[in-house]
Amino acid sequence: MSEQSTAPDLAELTRRSFETGNRCDFDLLAGFFAADAVFDLSQVGLARIEGLQAIREFLEEWWGAYEEFEAETEEVVDLGNGVTLATISQAGRPLGSSGDVACATGR
């Protein structure tokens, strides 16, 4: 019998979720979340979003606010117990704008 772990590599799943968002495949992106997931952005002044459908709608709206948008994972650390910490950079051009915006966050 194989000794390989069947547990998912959460750091790799985190990276893949951002890549999926960058392709604007929100149906596939929703598959990275449990049906009862909570996406808590309250510490950065945004909402606490509960449930798969609400999270999907939030992410689609977030990406949809930009003509061009990309979120890139800088570093992803598996902290154990199903928790990851990701440092990401986001860059884009908001709809109707000729200027670019960028930020880096750790979450």
Is 3.20.20.140 the CATH number for 10-106? Answer: no
Where does 3-104 have alpha helices with state H? 10-22, 26-30, 52-64
State pLDDT tens for residues 31-82: 988 899 998 989 889 999 999 999 999 999 989 999 999 999 999 999 988 8
DSSP 44: G
State pLDDT tens for residues 10-33: 999 999 999 999 999 999 999 988
Q: How far apart are CA 50 and CA 39, in angstroms?
A: 6
Model confidence pTM above 0.85: no
Spatial contact of 60 and 77, defined as CB atoms under 8 Å apart: no
Please report, for the chain, the start and end positions of each structural domain, with discontinuous segments joined by +: 10-106
- Residue 103 pLDDT level (bands cut at 50, 70, 90): confident
